[in-house]
Amino acid sequence: MIDEPLINVDRLAVRRGGRLVLNGLSFALRPGGFLCVTGPNGAGKTTLLLALMRQVAIAEGRIRLAGRALSDYPQRDLAKLMGYIPQADGRPVSFSVEEFILLGRYPHWRRFSTVTAEDRRALRDAMALTGTEVFARRSVSTLSGGERQKVFIAAALAQESRILLLDEPTAFLDPRQQAEVSGLLRRLNRERGVTVMMVTHDINLGAFCADEILAIRDGASAYSGPASGFYKPDVLEDLYRIPFEVVGEGSGGPLRVFHR
Amino acid sequence: MIVPPEARGRFLAALAILTVAAIAASMFLGLKSLDWAAVCQGTSGGVDAEIFWRVRLPRVCLGFLAGSALAASGMAFQAMFRNPLATPYTLGVSSGASLGAALYVKFGLALGLTGLPWLPLAAFLGAAGSISLVYGLTRASRGFSTATLLLAGVAISFFFTSFIVFIQYIGDLTTSFRVARWLMGGLETVGFGPVLQVLPFAFPGILAVLCLGHELDLLAIGEDIASARGVAVRTIKKIIFFVASLMVGGVVAACGPIGFVGLIVPHVGRLVIGPRHRELAPFTVLAGGAFLVLCDALGRSLIAPMEIPVGIITALLGGPFFLALLLRGRSERENI
């Protein structure tokens, strides 16, 4: 069925350290959608990511990916469906950019397989899309924050999964690098049909890229629906409990949100 | 990286040949120069043949096996802990294995257990116990920073070593001396017994690191990335820690805690052939074996007719190496 949601979360509850961090969260993400998950600190955004990646145990509720229970996926099949780009944490990576991106092909490899023409093509495509060819031979650890983020996105693209999960993709980047990364994500979604789920504090980033918003507060959904309905002063004020101003409505361009 | 990616296959082949040559050469180093013609006659060749077949050859085989296993386990630890200073020695895993072996020597022998190689099994249990400890400790404090890791390793080493000292203290003079000598680490052997004893402990681990190159690459980047790329992280981690404990346990039981092989060899490997475990693992296995065999040859010839235990040689080389890495790591980025 073509209209089956790629991600379907139903009344999800997750307990961490004895506390219910997520409690009855439900949402669905359709194929080709761009979902921005946002909300105040400690609302459970990161926990939702961890639950989708099977890094935390689910207390109640269900998660289904492409019509199949999340718990039923072998790890490689899960990787073929869903790629992940962690928050830029400056971790040491001594591989060259090319080697690192090529490792994104892991779910497609067998134990002793060598690099195939298909792998080479995926590598070239991913590097061309992200503009990372220019530093192919450099070590990942020598790159700037923005270059690094593009390399991590390229590696997830080489993986050729249908969904990309991103954790704060533009944190710690300067404005130009932020614009490059967010522009790249938007292009991947609009032109390549990659389904994106992005967790971020930055509601303006969501306004620029996303077509759907999931706002989490106290472990449950505070807003779930099209982006256009989210960027209203009253909705934002209700979520963050401070006054907001929305600029650019009706201009055709992206909205900007300021708190007053 | 000194060797460009295209040439790494050829480089490894050359290294294999070089390793064999180094091993062959080291067999002719020693107190007594051997008559090659007599050696070739096999067991009927008199004293020279006896020395070659019963002393030199088994010793070199044991050295190669121990060196490979120690270097491979060091490389595996560095990937799992994402820290270039993680080795069996620095993490206290060797001490755990030593304590296991010492406990068996003191109390287990009296039980008269037969049928299984109990001494290396006791060392294996000690190694596995200290891996669980150090992994649990560093994980509880979030992340494997050099400081946390080394502190945990030092604490565990001290703890286990004091137990070993206690066992020495309550033992008789002969036992104490034997334990003390064994703790220096050595490759003395007569016949192939010890070689055959280490083999089943070393082989699975060496095979595992040779086969799990991509998994080690991804785990060295991070468990989140490895898992997102499709690595069954828990399973792989269990396998690696299990076979690494086997390797360290088997080698420590036979040769004592020989340090720093697992530090020096993988590190040189990363400089020479790069960080990819598909190439780094074969390098480490080959060069680790050759390195220990050569260190032992050095130990046999430096103050001949006396021998220096190989563990002292590796520690003399490894100590400064370790310090240099530690100091460099503070100024540069830590890289695995």
Q: State the Cα–Cα distance between residues B258 and B251, nearest whole angstrom.
A: 9
Express each pLDDT in A163-193 by its tens digit: 999 999 998 889 999 999 999 999 999 999 9
Task: Provide the CATH number for the domain formed by B11-335 in this structure.
Answer: 1.10.3470.10
Residues 111-140 of A with CB under 8 A from B: 111-112
**Does B279 touch chain A if contact means CB atoms closer than 8 Å?**
no
Closest residue to A103, CB basis, from B227, B229, B335: B229
Q: State the Cα–Cα distance between residues A213 and A227, nearest whole angstrom.
A: 5
Residue B45 pLDDT exceeds 70: no
Q: Are B329 and B90 in contact (CB under 8 A)?
A: no
Overall average pLDDT of the A86-102 stretch: 91
Contact A107 B229 (CB under 8 A): yes
Best to test chain B binding among A53, A56, A70, A75 (most B CBs inside 10 Å): A75
**Does B142 touch chain A if contact means CB atoms closer than 8 Å?**
no
Q: State the Cα–Cα distance between residues A183 and A202, nearest whole angstrom.
A: 15
Which two structure tokens, joined as six digits, stand for B121? 């099994």
Q: State the Cα–Cα distance between residues A223 and A230, nearest whole angstrom.
A: 7
Closest residue to A106, CB basis, from B214, B233, B333: B214
Close Cβ partners of A260 (under 8 Å, ≥ 6 residues apart):
A242, A243, A244, A245
In this prediction the pTM is 0.90
Residue A153 pLDDT exceeds 80: yes
Residue of B nearest to A54 (CA): B227
**ipTM of the predicted structure?**
0.92
Residue B108 pLDDT exceeds 80: no
Contact B275 A95 (CB under 8 A): yes
Q: Which residue has the higher pLDDT, B206 or B32?
A: B206
Q: State the Cα–Cα distance between residues B280 and B8, nearest whole angstrom.
A: 10
Judging by beta carbons within 10 Å of its beta carbon (0-12, 13-18, 19+), is residue A238 exposed, middle or buried? Answer: middle
Q: What is the domain partition of chain B in residue ranges?
A: 11-335
Contact B229 A55 (CB under 8 A): no
* pLDDT for residue B137: 82
Contact B227 A53 (CB under 8 A): yes
Kindly report the nearest CA distance between residue A168 and chain B, in angstroms: 15
Contact B230 A75 (CB under 8 A): yes
